[in-house]
Chain A
Amino acid sequence: MRRVNIKIAIFATLFLVGACADEATQTPSDLDRAAAYLRSAETRRELLAKSLVNPENGYSKRRLENYTETRWGALPVWNPRVRPVRTTDLGAGVPSPDDSWTTLEIDDRLEDGALRELGARAFKDYPNQVEPALISALSDADGPARFGLWTEGDRVGGLVWVELPDGVQPAFTCSSCHSATTDNGLVYGAPNHRFNYGALLDDHRGVPTSAGRWGPGRVDVTPDDIENPTVMADLRAVRFQHRLNRAATIRNDLMALVLRLETAIITATGEGVRPPRQMVVGLSWYLWSLGESLPLPGNGTGRDVFNRACAACHAFPGLGGPPVPLETVGTDPTVGESPWRTTGAYQTPSLRGVARRGRLMAGGDVDSLEACLDDAREAPGHRYGTRLSEVERAALLEFLHALE
């Protein structure tokens, strides 16, 4: 009965806000689709295949070859005991597990509230990538700041200690790279463009490598032998994206995001385990809900300028749009040309929340909205909005800075 009521509530909400591709919210049919995903291997496979834009790139091939019941589907479900990394751990060495360490409690109800709550906990506490190099950032009190990891209360960088067969290791959660500190506290889902993962890797092994040149906010996630670090994403805007990945690799919708996250965790754990599927549904549900908090400024001069200079691609209300061919946008094509993810185009990112992003463009070549609109900037491409009058430019910047 409760589930029915939730469905009605969601449907009513959907009706009130108006359904459109740019501002999709979870729907009753999404709950049904989530149930089918959980129940049916055939459905999972269909959803995956449907979401992949270019079946020939490495990303798609890896998944199409392995996302079967006998391969990745046969992996053990991983839900290890963890505990958050706390400020008191800094410089204190690796802790030993005790009774306070817990697995993620999986609520198996397919209801809006339960899924959001499960997803929020998974976002903050589920280890999606074990990273021994994090020890370097936890070796002293200044370590987290040295590498741009956030601290909030007693939590450090959204990191967790994980109990593994051979001991305890530190690990990232989603919130490590996808939460940012502000004067008003932590903003979940916003990119942590201060986090310098490459510097952490170099520091841990004591050698300067190409990873050290990524700089803050970027990471090279593709096994393609090409130097193509990409910008950490603003997950708050994920519901507004037409495609996922900078290279527009995935047709986006809620269930595509579920498949995206499930397979990302599988590959990030060395294809040795898989996450609980209910948790992945919850995580996607939660991320989808984050878009509700992103403001959309009202009418004014800035919005008028935006309509003329930007909205052809970054259309209201999601401020995103269909992908754009690499040669059309003209920015550095390196990320988009990765044989691992290429579709020949870049996603048109939603600008909802853009004011909280420290690096812009797929490769992070532009570090501010001001620079983006500066016709004299060195970074190539995306000249849209660079030839405005000073008054128009100021108004547009005011509008964009309100997109927090």
Chain B
Amino acid sequence: MQHNVIVFSLLLGAMSLTACGGEAVGSDPDQGREDASTPVDGAAGQGNEGGTTPIPAVHRSVASPCDTVRATLDPMAPAGDPSVSCTTHEECTDGINGRCGGNAHDGWYCTYDECFEDAECGEFVCACEGGFRADNNICLSQGNCRVDADCGDNGYCSPTLGSCGDYFGAVGYFCHTPQDECTDDADCEAPSYCAYNTIAGKWMCSSDQCVG
């Protein structure tokens, strides 16, 4: 199955826009960065650790707290479906900002805000509205940076899909470096996409397969 990469790339971008700081796209004039729509090539990039690093379409310039308000859209959970474990938000009382939501593919269930700022997530990022097919805030579980400044002067810190494809959307934030083989999904031939490869230690065009 391994969910559609394109759909997740869009979700990834949307999530990153709100991930503890909607300043994720490199168009923040205060940061003096080029617009996210700037074509990605060597000439457009800023230097990083002595090399040339193109500006990724999605990166995290600063960490801002998530808002504490969560939407209360109608869960539209079908009655009688065995994959439905809740039908109303009021049933979701085991955490903060509980909401019932879901879809026919994964079923309906309660989600809660796990965090509101990075400090609640150890060394990793609190992803505002970064839940899997849900709009709850979650602590990501991987990464080597939280904001661009963690990646050195003119560095960029971007979200990536995880190992074994995109079962759960973005799993962490990683620095771009001059060793990267891609910067954005557009650099990769579909269905491949640009992701941080924890084994190679750089961003590369990746497939979305488990072994097997």
**A residues within 8 Å of B by Cβ?**
62, 76, 78, 80, 128-132, 135, 164-166, 169, 172, 177, 201, 204-211, 219-230, 232, 264-265, 267-273
Which of A128, A210, A232 touches B105 (beta carbons < 8 Å)? A210
Q: Measured between alpha carbons, how far is A184 from B5 in the docked complex, in Å?
A: 44
**Is A207 within 8 A of B111, CB to CB?**
yes
B106 contacts the other chain (CB 8 A) = yes
Classify the secondary structure of A's interface with B. Answer: loop
Q: Measured between alpha carbons, how far is A224 from B210 in the docked complex, in Å?
A: 12
Q: How large is the interface on B (under 10, 10 to 19, 20 to 34, 35 or more residues)?
A: 35 or more
**Is A223 within 8 A of B198, CB to CB?**
no
Residue of A nearest to B175 (CB): A166
Across the A-B interface, the 3 shortest Cβ-Cβ residue pairs: A165-B201, A221-B212, A272-B200
Residue among B85, B168, B197, B212 facing the most chain A CB atoms (10 A cut-off): B212
Q: Which chain B residues lie closer than 8 Å to A273 at the CB level?
A: 199-200
Classify the secondary structure of B's interface with A. Answer: loop
Known A267-B207, A272-B202; further 10 A-B contacts with Cβ < 8 A: A130-B198, A135-B141, A166-B201, A209-B133, A223-B5, A223-B191, A230-B212, A270-B163, A271-B192, A271-B197
Contacts A225-B2, A227-B1, A228-B1: A219 and B210 contacting too (C-beta < 8 A)? yes
**Is B167 within 8 A of A132, CB to CB?**
no
**Is A222 within 8 A of B1, CB to CB?**
yes
Q: Which chain A residues lie closer than 8 Å to B162 at the CB level?
A: 132
**Is B167 within 8 A of A201, CB to CB?**
yes
Which of B5, B134, B141, B163 touches A207 (beta carbons < 8 Å)? B134
Q: Which chain A residues lie closer than 8 Å to B202 at the CB level?
A: 272
B178 contacts the other chain (CB 8 A) = no
A119 to chain B, nearest CB (A): 16
Q: Which chain B residues lie closer than 8 Å to A166 at the CB level?
A: 144, 174, 198, 201
B131 contacts the other chain (CB 8 A) = yes
B58 contacts the other chain (CB 8 A) = no
List 20 A-B residue pairs with CB atoms under 8 Å apart, sorted by A's residue number. Answer: A76-B200, A130-B163, A132-B162, A204-B141, A205-B132, A205-B138, A205-B141, A207-B168, A209-B133, A220-B2, A221-B212, A222-B1, A225-B3, A227-B1, A227-B105, A232-B212, A264-B211, A269-B197, A270-B163, A271-B197
B9 to chain A, nearest CB (A): 14
B204 contacts the other chain (CB 8 A) = yes
**Is A269 within 8 A of B1, CB to CB?**
no
**Is A268 within 8 A of B142, CB to CB?**
no
Q: Which chain B residues lie closer than 8 Å to A208 at the CB level?
A: 85, 106-107, 109
A138 to chain B, nearest CB (A): 14
B189 to chain A, nearest CB (A): 9
Q: Which chain B residues lie closer than 8 Å to A229 at the CB level?
A: 1
Q: Which chain A residues lie closer than 8 Å to B207 at the CB level?
A: 62, 223, 267, 270-271
